[in-house]
Amino acid sequence: MADFLGCDSIEDLVPKVIDALKTKVSEFNYNNWFRYAQWSLEGEKTIRIQIPNKFVRDWILDNYLEIIKFEFFKLTGKEFEVLFQIIPPSELKQPVFPQIKNQVAPTQAAKKEQLLKLPVGINARYTFDNYVVGNSNQFVFAACQAVANNPAKNYNPLFIYGGVGLGKTHLLNALALEALKKNPSLKIIFVTGEQFTNEVINSIRYDKTYDLRKKYRDNCDILLIDDVQFIAGKERTMEEFFHTFNSLYEDRKQIIVTSDTLPKDILQLEERLRSRFSWGLLADIQIPDFETRCAILRRKAEDDHINMPDDVCQFIAMHVKTNVRDLEGSLIRLSAFASLACIPMTVNVARDVLKNVLGVMAPHLSIEGIQTMVADHYGLKIHDLKSERRHRNLALPRQIAMYLCKKHIKASFPEIGAKFGGKDHTTVIHAVQKIKSAFDQDIGLRSQLEQLENLIQKNS
Ligand code: ADP
Ligand code: MG
């Protein structure tokens, strides 16, 4: 058939394209994405591919559509249109793997549960019981338990600090739930620093400061403020919080706050609040070690009925070292992926899925890599970025480099400081916050950052 160059008949075309496809994508990927695909020609320039679900369709569209079209073009000299049709796995000819016990339902249930929050704004899913304890958090865990059992006795205020996704909000909820379990009549207020700020703004705007004070000072046994660093730099909010704090403290009511850093490292926080935060107990949460990461994954998999082989658990725990939220996210993504694509959860699948999500496995993206990139971009030497010199031509690129390291490598502040000529972690915190806040105001800086971020994307 002249129209189908190199093919005897139209029926020959599809197997030839499939053969070509197999040489272009790895066997592993072919099996993942095409083993259940059913191809058929519609007319002379359209191909229909039947696949088991939307997820597989989107993946093929994003990753393989161009290859498929190109192969058809090579064989026929025609631009083919590719149509996808989702049909239930039961109607596909080949048997489909049994679905891994599916976590879509629990996730939806969890969402619902979040909507049905307890009256005080507490999420009932975060309990002490499902908080996994290891070296990185046993101190703070014990402190929270002690406070829940005996509010306003020993540790007041309790100041919990640690990086994002390490379980601060979880612990606050667990503490409140436990305290309520012990004494259901306790009046508990649970707000984020941001909500508190909004309440202060609204109380000023609508002339309701009296109500606000009544609520926080007279009607509260335990006050929990999550991410209190948010109020820094907001004068009226800090003022209101200061008086709330004093009033509750004098009345022997319990105050618990969380923050991403120590009080002394929260920029633009009033000195008098800084000192009050340090009156009670300061407890930090660190990144969990490998064994704890495995235990957290196991616990999470059990709770969500995910059937996770040991080697997969260890693989995730080994590679996802940033925080617990990323750990959970990786597990959920991987199991959703396996379930939707009807493939078993294996280390190979994990490698393929997670590399696209986190970038944590991109071996060439490192602090040194970012330093080189930034130094090249500004025509500086790496030595300049590590030096102590404060000239603006050096200081800004240095701060940008620190910011990019925090954002893309997710290294800790001290780790970044060490690699920038042994600088203190507060210097890094300051740099990161400065670039973050300049980002919105300084168009020139924003465009420089965008260029650098593009370079990073290309290199990761
Ligand atoms: P943060 O408030 O510090 O940013 P979260 O409390 O929101 O972190 O925790 C992020 C996710 O990780 C939550 O789903 C939480 O349940 C989970 N998590 C964190 N630490 C643990 C832990 N030790 N055990 C079990 N789950 C944890
Ligand atoms: Mg939080």
Q: Model confidence over 139-173: pLDDT tens digits? A: 999 999 999 999 999 899 999 999 999 999 999 99
Q: Which residues of 376-395 are buried (b: 16+ CB within 10 A; e: fewer)?
A: eebebebebbbeeeeeeebe
Contact call for residues 79 and 45 (beta carbons, < 8 A): yes
Contact call for residues 432 and 446 (beta carbons, < 8 A): no
Helices (H), 341-422: 347-358, 367-378, 382-386, 392-409, 413-419
Determine the Cα–Cα distance for residues 301 and 294; give it in Å rounded to an integer: 10
* Closest alpha carbon to 354 in 342, 346, 343, 364: 346
pLDDT of residue 358: 58
Q: Which two tokens stand for residue 353?
A: 């899925």
**Cα of 326 from ligand 2 centre, angstroms:** 13
Determine the Cα–Cα distance for residues 158 and 223; give it in Å rounded to an integer: 11
Determine the Cα–Cα distance for residues 90 and 79; give it in Å rounded to an integer: 32
- Strands 46-51, 38-42: pairing is antiparallel
HSE of 35, CA atoms in CB hemisphere, 13 A:
14
pTM: 0.61
Radius of gyration of the chain (CA): 28
* Closest alpha carbon to 299 in 285, 284, 313, 315: 313
Determine the Cα–Cα distance for residues 298 and 280; give it in Å rounded to an integer: 34
Distance, C-alpha 402 to centroid of its chain: 20
**Cα of 295 from ligand 1 centre, angstroms:** 13
Contact call for residues 216 and 242 (beta carbons, < 8 A): no
End-to-end CA distance of the chain: 46
Contact call for residues 52 and 87 (beta carbons, < 8 A): yes
Indicate which residue's Cα is closest to atom 11 of ligand 1. 325
Determine the Cα–Cα distance for residues 7 and 288; give it in Å rounded to an integer: 59
Indicate which residue's Cα is closest to atom 1 of ligand 1. 165
Domain at 290-361: CATH architecture:
Orthogonal Bundle (1.10)
pLDDT of residue 364: 58
Phi, psi angle pair for 306, to nearest 5°: -100, 130
pLDDT of residue 115: 40
pLDDT < 70 stretches in the chain? 1-11, 27-28, 89-120, 356-364, 458-460
**Cα of 104 from ligand 1 centre, angstroms:** 20
Determine the Cα–Cα distance for residues 96 and 223; give it in Å rounded to an integer: 53
**CATH 3.40.50.300 is right for the domain spanning 113-285:** yes
**Cα of 164 from ligand 1 centre, angstroms:** 9
Determine the Cα–Cα distance for residues 344 and 100; give it in Å rounded to an integer: 7
Determine the Cα–Cα distance for residues 17 and 33; give it in Å rounded to an integer: 15
Q: Residue type for 250, please?
A: E
Determine the Cα–Cα distance for residues 167 and 136; give it in Å rounded to an integer: 11
Contact call for residues 152 and 182 (beta carbons, < 8 A): no
Domain at 364-458: CATH architecture:
Orthogonal Bundle (1.10)
pLDDT of residue 451: 85
Return the best residue to mutate from 122, 325, 327, 330 for the ligand 1 pocket (most ligand atoms within 8 A of CB): 325
Domain ranges of the chain: 10-91, 113-285, 290-361, 364-458
Indicate which residue's Cα is closest to atom 19 of ligand 1. 167
Determine the Cα–Cα distance for residues 316 and 338; give it in Å rounded to an integer: 15
Phi, psi angle pair for 217, to nearest 5°: -100, -35
> Which residues, at least 6 apart from 221, have a Cβ–Cβ distance to it below 8 Å?
151, 186, 187, 188, 253, 254
Return the best residue to mutate from 166, 226, 285 for the ligand 1 pocket (most ligand atoms within 8 A of CB): 166
Q: Which fold has domain 10-91?
A: GMP Synthetase; Chain A, domain 3 (3.30.300)
Indicate which residue's Cα is closest to atom 25 of ligand 1. 131
Other beta carbons within 10 angstroms of residue 449's beta carbon come to 18
Q: Which residues line ligand 1 (CB under 6 A)?
A: 126, 131-132, 137, 162, 164-170, 296, 324-325, 328
Contact call for residues 374 and 348 (beta carbons, < 8 A): no
Indicate which residue's Cα is closest to atom 26 of ligand 1. 131
**Cα of 342 from ligand 2 centre, angstroms:** 34
Cα dihedral 427/431/437/440 (nearest 10): 180
Distances from the Cα of 228 to the Cα of 101, 260, 301, 427, 434, angstroms: 39, 9, 31, 21, 19
**Cα of 144 from ligand 2 centre, angstroms:** 15
